[in-house]
Amino acid sequence: MRNDVQDRSKFNIPPKSLLIVNKLRTKPVVDAIAALLSYLKEQHPEVRVFHEERSDRPEGVDPWTPGMVFKGPESEKIDLVVTLGGDGTILHASSLFKSGEVPPVLSFSMGTLGFLLPFHIDDFVKAIESAFAGNATVLHRMRLSCSFQRKDGSDKDMDPWQVMNEVTLHRGANPHLITIDIYVDDQHLTEAVANGIIVSTPTGSTAYSLSAGGPIVHPSLSALVLTPICPRSLSFRPLVFPSSSTVVLKVSDRSRAEAGLSMDGQVSYMLGPGEAVTVQASLYPVPCINRSSIAEPDVTREGVPPGKEDDWVRDINNLLQYNATFRSKALLRHSRT
């Protein structure tokens, strides 16, 4: 894993190609895409704009499919991904790049709150111009690489999945607890009897893992977070491993049922007794453009210059109300009136 988790953006300045990824095309999304395309056409006509190949692709935008091979020079590959939606839209954008490097991602909120949404769509002009000028920094958010093994230990015939939040082995609709053997770097850690096991990235530590009692981990760290879901043993606590570790979750031969496997809450497989999933750090993180790196001096915290404020610190206070007492919450509500 790379150590320079936060640095200046590496994409072409200005980008020569741009991919739009959006959630379902409600009227606000349709209007936002229209405004964005109009602006790009007027101010940056040299930028080639792509959209996923699907039925709601906007007019005048080139179709794009994962793994698409461009005809022409190397510079015609996607230089920048722009997402419009919520955190789930960013997870979907990440899933489109299952192999190789992921282009920098510029994320716009359509009104929802999320840890991966640094910009509101109303600010798209300032954000795009700053990014195009090379004034933005990116945070390289770690991903997980997940491969699958049969009962005899051989790999299943499928490419490894690249996961941004978490991989979860769970009991699914089965009423019984499942039994999972957990290995870390080829050493047997424990036999878990639980509703399931989560292996998350630092980015995913504020998602499902947090709801299951896992720790909050700063996204600039490279680590694997192991969190049990309703374990039978009260001494089974969450663990954090270095990114160099390899974690194997194997459905025990003594498990009473198959286990469901979901990745970023979107993909689901069934693993039978003896089958396993191997989880390790991916070589290809997701470079997300920071809000604070292009903020105006008067919108950052006192004493913190633009580009130095930590988006994550702001988010755990604003979104999670971290360590907020009843009194401080009341004062916060009063200050907003």
Active site residues: 87
CA distances from 274 to 22, 210, 250, 254, 255 (A): 39, 28, 6, 9, 9
Helix (H, G, I), strand (E, B) or coil at 208: helix
The secondary structure of 117-182 as a DSSP string is: --EEGGGHHHHHHHHHTT--EEEEE--EEEEEE-TTSPBPSSPPEEESSEEEEE-TT-SS-EEEEE
Single-letter amino acid, residue 118: P
CA distances from 64 to 8, 78, 272 (A): 27, 10, 36
Q: Do the Cβ atoms of 280 and 152 come closer than 8 Å?
A: no
- As a whole number of Å, the CA-based R_g of the chain is 21
Q: Within a 10 A sphere around the Cβ of 67, how many other Cβ atoms?
A: 10
The helix, strand and coil proportions of the chain, stated in percent and rounded to the nearest 5, come to 20, 30, 45
CA distance 194 to 29: 41
CA distance 75 to 91: 25
CA distance 213 to 199: 13
CA distance 167 to 185: 18
